[in-house]
Amino acid sequence: MDPSNLQKQREPEEPRYLDFPHLPDDAMRDGKPILNKYSSTVTRDHDFPGAQAMLYAAGVPDKETMKTAPHVGVASVWWEGNPCK
């Protein structure tokens, strides 16, 4: 075991945050604040049809709701209810 590697493991690390594209905090649509500033990256027009298909299968009723409603993602390694069977 390399002693310098052990020393690196003991030193605190600078926190790393995910940075992905999203709308600015003050983004507006039709005079109202946009609620889905993070999920809009996935739900915009024809850019991610696979993601849109999964959202439809999960119960998003229409395109307008998909574009304007906020979406919350929950990550899991296993789900028996996957609509892609």
CB crowding 24-47: b at 16 or more within 10 Å, else e: eeeeeeeeeebebeebbebbeeee
Find tokens 């899991």 and name the residue.
76
User: pTM for this structure?
Assistant: 0.43
54-78 pLDDT tens trace: 888 888 888 888 777 777 777 777 7
24-40 pLDDT tens trace: 989 888 898 888 888 78
